[in-house]
Chain A
Amino acid sequence: MQRLLIANRGEIAVRIARAARELGMHSIVVVSEADEQSLAARTADESIVIGPAPAARSYLDIAAVVAAARAVGADAVHPGYGFLSENADFAEAVRGAGLTWVGPAPEVIRLMGDKARARQAALAAGVPTIAGTAGALPPVDELGQEELTRLLEQVGLPLLIKASSGGGGRGIRRVDREEDFAAALATAQAEAVAAFGNGEVYLERLVHEARHVEVQILGDGRNAIHLGDRDCSLQRRRQKMVEESPAPGIPAAVRQQLLDSAVALAVSTGYSGAGTVEYLYDPRRHEAAFIEMNTRLQVEHPVTEQVTGLDLVREQLLIAAGQPLRHTQEDIVLRGHAIEVRINAEDPQMGFFPSPGTLERLSLPGGPGVRVDTGFASGDVVPPYYDSMLAKLIVHDEDRPSAIRRMLRALEELRVEGVRCNAAVLPGLLQSEEFREAAHHTDTVEQALTMAGARA
């Protein structure tokens, strides 16, 4: 592997170009016409235009990306996160072109992309799962009343109807009352056909005020290790805002179960590369259960890098090049506590509405224990076509309270001018009693914002 095509944009493209540079690999980043002057284009050794601004005609265009890889003589493709990173057809197309795919095998991507099958794989590997159905349900009109009643008894109310092809918070419908179940199931199956072209849905019990906990794993196709856990419970509309490692306040036995079962799932699927097994943690029952496995690098991977001292993108590249895992589980030592916040171009005063434009000034924090991953510099244009993330602020310190103080300090140093950003709401969340005492959950942000709105 000498020439790496980066099939992504923004901060993650910059991040991958840096890892390639350190390994002595030549990097070529694909860009849309809107990103020709981007920081990623300036950071990589080369860039190649693959299409116009809309992602559907550039970053999501499999043929265009594969053609670009051929045109520049790439021998490997790193998909980053989002876009085509979990698209098994893309992984197959890359391999079909004789190139190395930086990620797990297409069949593993396909397995984990089908949420009902993934749930079955998790069950088979001994991963704890929420009460629910083992696989996809038949169409609602093939289910009799008896069958519907049996399902309700098996899962319990309230429950969630989830689309097999959903994930990342999409394709989910909540049912609170028995009499609503049949109609909701019919609607969910119809919606799943419309949204994903696949009407398969399954059921899961709803966990109230759950925390989102996940385990980072690395595999080489035969062996797998974990790199500790992360908590990503502070979310707005199911989009993560604050992430940390390790996850605070999880009983040791539960934590060990999560770590061990994530590794077991990775081994059972012959997982190769970096992946994340996501769980819901129910703080009342002290139970955790599988949600899904992401077969790619996560946005929040830096908090794991800070506490383990490993470079996850470097490990991904070395594994893709055919090297076995370079570390045993015993080699992995977790040090201190790391927190990441996402700085997004959105206006908290306007219901977090997106705020693209020219970034007149981006002044980044620095000093001990502070890292910033961004795809922008002062004077750059934040295009309206893509997601709104401007930067990730990551801090590392010896323990969680010091890491929170360090993040507050870093946020004070941050200056963003020209576009609106969400930075002003973050100190309040970090200083809230709920977050400091690790009593936060996936609805905390929405509840806090609603209360702030009621006071205003």
Chain B
Amino acid sequence: MSTIPVTAGIPGVFYSRPGPGKEPYARPGELVQAGQVIGLLEIMKQFAEVTAPASGLLVEFLVEDGAMLVPGEPLATIETS
């Protein structure tokens, strides 16, 4: 079992849901699959999906919705079995 970070590949504003008032892509405590979308990064009106780097338990988000991230910044953690 190991805990791995999900990091921002690009700079951008982080969102955990596809739009205001929508359900979040994933909640802490849920199991996610490698490649599953768990958030969005918005940069200059373009959106890039944030995907889980590995299958496992989504432990927590480390940043708030609307936070500005720099490349490489950890935004969530996943516990793999």
Q: How far is the CA of A345 from the CA of B13 in the complex (A)?
A: 17
Is A54 on the interface with B (CB-CB < 8 A)? yes
Name A386's contact: one of B10, B44, B68 (CB within 8 Å): B44
Cβ-neighbour of B45 out of A53, A194, A353, A387 (below 8 A): A387
B56 within 8 A of A: no
Q: Cβ of B46 < 8 Å from any Cβ of A?
A: yes
Is the pair A354, B68 in contact by a Cβ cutoff of 8 Å? no
Asked if B12 lies at the interface with its beta carbon under 8 angstroms from chain A, I say: yes
Chain A residue nearest to B12 in the complex (CB) = A384
Q: How far is the CA of A54 from the CA of B11 in the complex (A)?
A: 14
A54 touches B44 (CB 8 A): no
Interface residues of B (CB under 8 A from A): 10-13, 19, 43-46, 66, 68
Decide if B44 touches A345 in the complex (CB within 8 Å): yes
Q: Which residue of A lies closest to B70 (CB)?
A: A384
**What A residues does B45 contact at CB under 8 A?**
386-388
Query: C-beta contact mask, A379-394 vs B, less than 8 Å → 1, else 0?
Result: 0000011111000000
Which of A353, A356, A384, A388: most chain B CB closer than 10 A?
Answer: A384
Q: Are the C-beta atoms of A384 and B68 separated by less than 8 Å? A: yes
B44 contacts which of A53, A194, A356 (Cβ < 8 Å)?
A356
Q: Are A354 and B44 in contact (CB under 8 A)?
A: yes
In the complex the two chains form, is A384's CB within 8 Å of B11's CB?
Answer: yes
Residue of A nearest to B10 (CB): A353
Instruction: Supply 28 A–B pairs (Cβ within 8 Å), ascending by A.
Output: A53-B68, A54-B13, A54-B66, A194-B19, A345-B44, A346-B44, A353-B10, A353-B46, A354-B43, A354-B44, A354-B46, A356-B11, A356-B43, A356-B44, A384-B11, A384-B12, A384-B13, A384-B43, A384-B68, A385-B13, A385-B44, A385-B68, A386-B44, A386-B45, A387-B44, A387-B45, A388-B44, A388-B45
Among B10, B12, B43, find the residue whose CB has the most chain A CB atoms closer than 10 A: B43
Binary contact readout A191-222 vs B (1 if CB under 8 angstroms, 0 otherwise): 00010000000000000000000000000000
Chain B residue nearest to A357 in the complex (CB):
B11
Min CB distance A8 to B, Å, is 15
Q: How far is the CA of A354 from the CA of B68 in the complex (A)?
A: 15
Which 9 pairs show the lowest CB-CB distances between chains A and B?
Answer: A354-B44, A388-B44, A354-B43, A384-B43, A387-B45, A384-B11, A354-B46, A387-B44, A54-B66
Residue of A nearest to B69 (CB): A384
The answer for the CA separation of A453 and B11 in the assembled complex, in Å, is 26
Question: Can you list, as one digit per residue, whether each of A337-356 has a CB less than 8 Å from chain B (1) or not (0)?
Answer: 00000000110000001101
Tell me which of A54, A345, A354 has the highest count of chain B C-beta atoms within 10 A of its own C-beta. A354
CB distance from A312 to the nearest CB of B (A): 25
* Chain A 331-373 residues near chain B, CB threshold 8 A: 345-346, 353-354, 356
Q: Which residues of A contact B68 (CB under 8 A)?
A: 53, 384-385
Q: Which residues of B contact A385 (CB under 8 A)?
A: 13, 44, 68
A386: chain B residues at CB < 8 Å are: 44-45
- A194 CA to B19 CA, complexed, in Å: 9
Contacts of B19 in A (CB 8 A): 194
A249 to B66, CA, bound (A): 48
Report how far A44 CA is from B8 CA in the complex, Å.
36
In the assembled complex, the Cα of A54 lies from the Cα of B19 at a distance in Å of 14
Q: A385 to B10: give the CA distance in the assembly, Å.
A: 13
Give every chain B residue within 8 A of A353 (Cβ-Cβ).
Answer: 10, 46
Chain B nearest CB from A239 CB (Å) reads 10
Question: Residue of B at shortest CB range from A237?
Answer: B46
Give Cα A295 to B32, complex, Å. Answer: 46
How far, in angstroms, from A451 to B69 measured CA to CA in the complex? 35
Contacting residues, chain B, for A384 (C-beta < 8 A): 11-13, 43-44, 68
Note all chain B residues with C-beta closer than 8 A to A356. Answer: 11, 43-44
- Quote the shortest CB–CB distance from B19 to chain A (angstroms): 8
Report which residue of B10, B13, B44 has the largest number of chain A beta carbons within 10 angstroms of its beta carbon.
B44
Chain B residues closer than 8 Å to A354, beta-carbon distance: 43-44, 46
B10 to chain A: which residues have CB within 8 Å?
Answer: 353
Chain B residues near A345 (CB-CB < 8 A): 44
Question: In whole angstroms, what is the CA distance A294 to B68 when docked?
Answer: 32
Please give, as numbers and ranges, the residues of chain A lying within 8 Å of B12 by CB-CB distance: 384
- In the assembled complex, the CB of A237 is this many whole angstroms from the nearest CB of chain B, namely 10
Bound: A385/B44 CA distance, A: 5
Output the nearest chain A residue to B22 by Cβ-Cβ distance. A194
Q: What separation, in Å, do the CA atoms of A53 and B13 have in the docked complex?
A: 10
